[in-house]
Structure 1
Amino acid sequence: MDLLNFVMDQALILIPVLWILGKMIKQMALVPNRFIPVTLLAISVVFTTVMMGLSVESIIQAILVTGAAVFGHQIVKQFRQ
């Protein structure tokens, strides 16, 4: 099962955006590392509701996009070690 099959085309652009924002948040040490995924989820909820309107579907898309961004980052991080 492929996670990206569940993510709408409109929301796909948020995956690299969240990845970049997460990197920036980490480098600026704005929040502790353990709270970066939650911060990215909040940012994603704001972006998806702006793009798709406030609905349950947009919240689900925000969760999926954040999951894909964090999971993708962790995969790359693990393979570099």
Structure 2
Amino acid sequence: MMEEFLQYISEQSLILIPVLYVIGILLKKTPQVKDWVIPWILLVCGVTLSIFLADDVLQGVIQGVLVTGASVLGHQLYKQSKDRDMSSK
């Protein structure tokens, strides 16, 4: 599933996935930032950074949405799998 999703992300934008992941971890550890706001902040960061990497603004917005989705999806897959393992013990 993730592999099929990643085929739509340009090579130059792939670096943003771990960058957004780390930003998300830092935001999660910030008490003033509520959890529901984190994906929105990541989306703004992802789109903004992608626009700088892309050839045009529309492509940057699309890539930003995709890399943000991949980052959040990757985090949730990891978290849910870890939580599932913890609850089965």
TM-score by length of 2: 0.85
Unaligned runs of 5+ in 1: none
Tell me the CA shift for residue 31 of structure 1.
1.8
Larger radius of gyration: 2
Unaligned runs of 5+ in 2: 84-89
Query: Post-superposition, which runs of at least 4 consecutive aligned residues in structure 1 deviate over 4 A?
Result: none
TM-score by length of 1: 0.93
- Specify the code of the residue in structure 2 equivalent to 1:35: V
Aligned residues: 81
Q: Superposed, which structure 2 residues align to 1:1-80 within 5 Å? A: 2-80=4-82
Q: d(CA) in 2 for partners of 1:21 and 1:68?
A: 14
Q: Percent identity?
A: 38
